[in-house]
Structure 1
Amino acid sequence: MSDAPPSLDPVQLGAYFDLIEVTSLLRHAVEQQLRESGDLSYVQFQLLARLGDSPTGSHRMTDLADGVVYSRSGLTYQVGLLEKEGLVVRAPSPDDERSVTVTLTDAGRELLAKVLPGHVEVVSGLLFAPLSHDEVSALAGLLAPVREHMRATPPRSAASRRRKGGA
């Protein structure tokens, strides 16, 4: 029996550091573009984009928190900022009185339409330009099972809340 701590082989370690560096560089460029073109943070853009992709333009707060992997309290704060700017509205969920639904406003759709072309340009130029179509397909095929593996254990934002009093 070995008590040696788990380790990564050189290829795994290199892949890990490459992934972290690529993610950091891409996120930095995207955040800069979003600030300059729409005065949005990265998470605010994620929220608007998820709402914009929804057929109804709405999501429950807990679903948004899980989708963007953000804490409930942090999401509440960010949605509050977006609501102050008139980009979203919050209302009690029609399906569950304990839930809050967030809906994209016309102003939110307009801002999303304004920042999206620059966002696509940054992502295309930095992430996809150096890759062939087959390499992009391979990358998507590699990342999908990793994402699913990580999503098999829900992020804290999606974990059940403990109720006061024990149950």
Structure 2
Amino acid sequence: MPEHHVDPVQLGAYFALIEVSGLLRHAIEQQLREAGDLTFVQFQVLMRLGQSPTGSHRMTDLADAVVYSRSGLTYQAGRLEEAGLITRSPSPDDERSTTATITDAGRALIARVLPGHEEVVSGMLFEPLSQDDARTLARLLTPVRDHMRSTPPRSATSRRRRGGS
């Protein structure tokens, strides 16, 4: 296996990214809690369902999309369902999997928390950047995200290895 060394420039970029991400996430979580009594994961689930043409997604696809464990997402979805924000039912194409669907109440809650959410993101992340900077940031982060998503998560690789050959 090749050795990977991080040079001082890369280390500085890494620490800045982690710090920015942590500060932004904290502020977003606080706003979502105050405006809608939502966790960040619950908000991501509602947003993804709300943006889907059908208002639905399979739970496994949601877990992959929000980068969350399946058991953790099941718990969060249970909380959303108890609050009447989503419904869950067996998938029409595969009854072993579950489909989550946003309700009208879920859509209404998203509409209520979204303006404050966008205010936090805009004020914290984009205020010090020009529109060109924002484009550059997207251009830099998109291939990194795609690279990370193309690699199976550690949990998946260890599970495969344990199960077999």
Structure 1 length-normalised TM: 0.90
SS in 1 for 2:10: helix
| Change in 2 beyond 3 A, CA 1:158/1:69 | farther
- Once the two structures are superposed, residues 68-101 of structure 1 have per-residue CA deviations (whole angstroms, 9 ceiling, x without a partner) of 0000000000000000000000000001121100
- Bigger relative contact order, structure 1 or 2 (CA pairs below 8 A, ≥6 apart): 1
Match of 1:147 among 145, 148, 151: 145
Residue in structure 2 matched with residue 31 of structure 1 by the alignment: 29
SS in 2 for 1:81: helix
Match of 1:56 among 54, 65, 86: 54
SS in 1 for 2:100: strand
Residue 77, structure 1, aligned to residue 75, structure 2: yes
Residue in structure 1 matched with residue 12 of structure 2 by the alignment: 14
| Change in 2 beyond 3 A, CA 1:39/1:156 | farther
Q: Structure 2: how far apart are the matches of 1:66 and 1:158?
A: 11
Supply the AA of the counterpart residue of 2:114: L
Match of 2:108 among 99, 107, 110: 110
Higher helix share: 2
On the 8 A contact 1:87/1:106 being kept in 2, the answer is: yes
On the 8 A contact 1:62/1:158 being kept in 2, the answer is: no
* Percent identical residues: 74
Residue in structure 1 matched with residue 98 of structure 2 by the alignment: 100
Aligned CA-pair RMSD: 2.0
| Change in 2 beyond 3 A, CA 1:158/1:53 | farther
Q: Structure 2: how far apart are the matches of 1:154 and 1:104?
A: 28
Q: Structure 2: how far apart are the matches of 1:95 and 1:51?
A: 18
Q: Which runs of 5+ in 2 are unaligned?
A: none
Q: Structure 2: how far apart are the matches of 1:78 and 1:155?
A: 21
Q: Structure 1: how far apart are the matches of 2:152 and 2:90?
A: 24
Structure 2 length-normalised TM: 0.91
